[in-house]
């Protein structure tokens, strides 16, 4: 009976959409494809503003750009395929698959309106990345490499960054041996090749500002990266040679891709991306270098990988005290930290996929050619010490009625202190979704590459409960809320006693029309820290509370988009007086009809009393660049961001930004990055050629 009712609903919606929505949707989809770079940038802006962590824009853009050229077939795509659309939650993906399982093939993209947990905003985001096909048998086709070379698409990008004001690190004299060795120009060069969704080649070369390009210490680019990827070749699901990232389970054993964590997408807490991802970023630390393979045999998947690469670090008496992760090699001292330890990693994963469940096992062994021995402090008592570590875990996910249950249990070495994560997401009715998660990470869990849902980095020394809710109470309104209560059973850096914290978040979105949206966000955080200037023998913690408010209005009128935003926060630590931070933002984006020119103009005023009140503001930037600078002090910042398409295959980006301080400061920044004066100018230029 239920299936019959759903079929009638499908027929009704299909007829309605043919009469009303389809002509509009075709025009909209065409427009999206014509401006896919800007479309992805707009999605990323919303995604980045809703996240509390810094997303990897390179991976984000490459995944969606590839999907726009080879859209997912809604009638054939699998769970991991939908996971490429990172703006979808695991619950939304499960509901799409469940709807398709119950009803059969979709007749129109807008049939997604019948899927619980999806609203029109989600569907509009999906439009350029999905399609429909009546063929339900997925073919694992062979690749004709001659055709790939002939019809594959190539892309070359080069970018230059420059700060005209002189930094202290570039002022050289005979007494200062710590001055920067290179010039103040940042530069990178990228080459990309892909053929359909089966063959990819990435090459990246980067030179940070201040690094020597050709001289006594180094010759050529400081960072070189490359990868070759082959997908869906017979039973071979994925093959990557070169640089790649690994992601299994919920991240208790290993996760190198972006971890969203707590955000305005309050029910997006389950990791859906599994396996290996090619690496094309300029980050010099968080990736593997070697070989990775994935095979599919019916309902089972096998993943194996090996990595062998040199890592930066601080050495003392031939022991490694810590890894050096910034990637900067600008001074003679920084250059001595380059490639000082060899790290080898061998690991794998075995996963079985059933109709309503998934279960898998992951494991990896890490070997260093030098012993890791951090300087001993009370807070790092449980940090890993040695040159070999083995970590393994079991992860699972299953659906029971409206509930999607997931989790992972993992341990290191002798497995005496396992870490456990368990969560459930549910859509009891079409307009309400919720998520509940419990985590228990003992201080002894110190897996090298663990990165999962947590308030702190890594997955150790934390226990807590999380509740997230998303509600569509009435038409045009959306409410997101989460509460997270957690504690740290051992000391942390800057906190000399076990502590507890609470996070609360509430966001209201009002979208009466497609061209108008209003947002109000309220956050409150309660923490415990060491009191300033305390000399107590027995540690005493000070309670700290910080509340933040954001109000945002976005309005589109034809080819012009206006964004107004106001941010404010209050911070109180112990018995001290409350301090505040305020910022006002106005941004205008324009797309010309007859000229392939796009530009963004932004003006920001800020008044932030101290560093603890600092405000983070998202900025539009050149392609493949991500910018969310923090602001403290009193001043303003403005920028102009331009894009011009000389031809459909040749595009240029230019961004000029300047920050002025009005708080009588005599310099900006510290140490070698210090600039004399009260202003800082940033210039970025990127050129892209497709062929």
User: Which residues 6+ apart lie within 8 Å of 364 measured at CB?
Assistant: 253, 254, 345, 346, 347, 348, 390, 391, 392, 449
| The pLDDT value given to residue 328 | 92
The answer to whether the Cα torsion of 47, 254, 283, 461 is positive or negative is: positive
134 vs 72: which has the higher pLDDT: 72
Give mean pLDDT, residues 35-41. Answer: 72
Give mean pLDDT, residues 31-60. Answer: 65
Give mean pLDDT, residues 381-403. Answer: 92
Band (pLDDT 50/70/90 cuts) for residue 105 is confident
Give mean pLDDT, residues 180-209. Answer: 92
Model confidence at 247: pLDDT above 70:
yes
Q: For 334-349, how does the pLDDT look when each residue is reduced to its tens digit (9 = 90+)?
A: 999 999 999 999 999 9
| The pLDDT value given to residue 660 | 95
Model confidence at 52: pLDDT above 80:
no
| The pLDDT value given to residue 435 | 95
Domain ranges for the chain, please list them.
Answer: 2-131
Model confidence at 148: pLDDT above 90:
no
| The pLDDT value given to residue 258 | 73
pTM of the model: 0.87
Q: State the average pLDDT for the chain.
A: 86
User: Which residues 6+ apart lie within 8 Å of 27 measured at CB?
Assistant: none
Q: Would you list the DSSP string of 529-554?
A: EPPTT---SS--PEEEEEEEEEEEEE
| The pLDDT value given to residue 15 | 42
Range with the poorest average pLDDT among 154-158, 387-391, 425-429: 425-429
Hey, which of 22-26, 429-433, 505-509 has the most confident mean pLDDT? 505-509
Model confidence at 622: pLDDT above 80:
yes
Q: For 662-685, how does the pLDDT look when each residue is reduced to its tens digit (9 = 90+)?
A: 988 889 988 889 999 999 999 999
DSSP 8-state class, residue 217: S
Range with the poorest average pLDDT among 62-66, 287-291, 478-482: 62-66
User: Which residues 6+ apart lie within 8 Å of 312 measured at CB?
Assistant: 284, 285, 323, 324, 325, 327, 337, 338, 339, 340
Band (pLDDT 50/70/90 cuts) for residue 31 is very low
Band (pLDDT 50/70/90 cuts) for residue 2 is very low
| The pLDDT value given to residue 163 | 95
Model confidence at 652: pLDDT above 70:
yes
For the chain, percent of residues with pLDDT exceeding 90? 53
Model confidence at 3: pLDDT above 60:
no
Model confidence at 492: pLDDT above 70:
yes
Model confidence at 39: pLDDT above 70:
yes
| The pLDDT value given to residue 11 | 41
| The pLDDT value given to residue 140 | 47
| The pLDDT value given to residue 609 | 86
| The pLDDT value given to residue 491 | 93
Residue pair 78/101 in contact (Cβ under 8 Å)? The answer is no
Band (pLDDT 50/70/90 cuts) for residue 450 is very high
Residue pair 359/385 in contact (Cβ under 8 Å)? The answer is no
Model confidence at 21: pLDDT above 50:
no
Question: What CA–CA distance (Å, rounded) separates 321 from 370?
Answer: 10
| The pLDDT value given to residue 659 | 96
E-state strands within 354-498:
357-372, 386-400, 403-412, 419-429, 432-441, 462-471, 477-488
Give mean pLDDT, residues 384-412. Answer: 93
Residue pair 280/62 in contact (Cβ under 8 Å)? The answer is yes
Q: Would you list the DSSP string of 232-256?
A: EETTEEEEEEEEEEEE-TTSSSBB-
621 vs 401: which has the higher pLDDT: 621
């Amino acid at each position: 009976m239920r299936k019959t009712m759903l079929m009638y609903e499908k027929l009704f919606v299909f007829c309605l959409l043919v009469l009303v929505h389809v002509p509009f949707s075709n025009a909209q989809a065409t427009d999206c494809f014509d401006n896919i770079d800007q479309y992805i940038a707009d999605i990323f802006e919303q995604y980045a503003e809703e996240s509390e962590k810094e997303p990897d824009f390179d991976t984000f853009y490459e995944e969606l750009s590839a999907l726009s050229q080879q859209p997912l077939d809604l009638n054939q795509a699998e769970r991991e395929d939908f996971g490429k659309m990172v703006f979808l939650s695991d619950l939304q993906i499960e509901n799409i698959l469940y709807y398709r399982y119950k009803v059969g093939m979709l007749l129109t993209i807008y049939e997604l309106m019948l899927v619980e947990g999806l609203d029109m905003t989600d569907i509009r985001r999906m439009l350029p990345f999905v399609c429909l096909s009546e063929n339900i048998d997925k073919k694992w086709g062979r690749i004709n490499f001659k055709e790939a070379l002939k019809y594959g698409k190539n892309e070359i990008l080069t970018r230059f960054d420059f700060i005209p004001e002189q930094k202290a690190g570039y002022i050289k004299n005979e007494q200062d041996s710590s001055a920067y060795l290179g010039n103040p120009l940042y530069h990178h060069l990228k080459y990309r090749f892909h053929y359909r969704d089966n063959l990819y080649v990435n090459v990246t070369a980067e030179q940070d500002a201040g690094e020597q390009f050709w001289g006594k210490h180094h010759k050529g680019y400081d960072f070189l990266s490359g990868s070759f990827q082959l997908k869906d070749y017979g039973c071979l699901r994925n093959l990557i040679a070169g640089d790649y990232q690994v992601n299994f389970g919920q991240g208790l054993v290993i996760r190198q891709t972006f971890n969203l964590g707590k955000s305005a997408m309050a029910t997006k807490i389950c990791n859906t991306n599994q396996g290996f991802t090619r690496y094309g970023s300029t980050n010099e630390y968080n990736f593997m270098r070697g070989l990775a393979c994935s095979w599919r045999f019916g309902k089972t998947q096998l993943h194996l990988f090996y990595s062998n690469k040199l890592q930066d670090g601080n050495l003392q008496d031939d022991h490694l005290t810590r890894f050096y992760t910034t990637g900067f090699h600008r001074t003679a001292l920084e250059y001595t930290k380059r490639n000082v330890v060899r790290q080898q990693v061998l690991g794998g994963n075995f996963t079985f996929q059933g109709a309503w469940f998934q279960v898998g096992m992951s494991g990896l062994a890490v070997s260093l050619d030098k012993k890791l021995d951090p300087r001993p402090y009370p807070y790092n008592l449980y940090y890993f010490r040695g040159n070999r570590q083995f970590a393994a875990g079991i992860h699972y996910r299953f659906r029971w009625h409206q509930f999607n249950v997931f989790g992972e249990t993992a341990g290191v070495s002798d497995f005496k202190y396992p870490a456990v994560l368990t969560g459930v997401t549910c859509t009891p009715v079409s307009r309400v979704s919720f998520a509940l998660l419990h985590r228990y990470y003992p201080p002894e869990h110190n897996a090298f590459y663990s990165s999962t849902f947590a308030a702190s980095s890594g997955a150790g020394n934390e226990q807590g409960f999380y509740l997230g809710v998303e509600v569509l109470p009435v038409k045009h309104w959306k409410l997101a809320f989460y509460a997270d209560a957690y504690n740290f059973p051992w000391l942390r850096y800057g906190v000399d006693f076990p502590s507890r914290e609470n996070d609360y978040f509430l966001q209201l979105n009002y979208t009466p029309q497609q061209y108008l949206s209003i947002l109000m966000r309220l956050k409150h955080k309660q923490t415990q820290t060491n009191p300033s200037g305390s000399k107590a023998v027995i540690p005493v913690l000070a309670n700290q509370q910080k509340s933040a408010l954001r109000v945002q209005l976005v309005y589109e009128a034809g080819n012009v988009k206006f964004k107004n935003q106001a941010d404010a926060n209050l911070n109180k630590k112990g018995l001290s007086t409350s301090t505040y931070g305020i910022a006002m933002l106005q941004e205008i984006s324009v797309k010309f009809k007859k000229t392939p020119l796009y530009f963004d103009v932004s003006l920001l005023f800020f008044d932030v009393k101290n560093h603890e009140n600092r405000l983070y503001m998202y900025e539009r930037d050149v392609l493949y660049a991500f910018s969310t600078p923090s602001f403290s002090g009193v001043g303003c910042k403005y920028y102009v961001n331009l894009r011009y398409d000389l031809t459909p295959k040749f595009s240029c980006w230019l961004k000029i930004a300047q920050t002025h301080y009005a708080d009588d400061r005599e310099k900006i920044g510290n140490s070698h990055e210090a600039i004399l004066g009260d202003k800082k100018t940033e210039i970025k230029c990127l050129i892209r050629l497709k062929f």
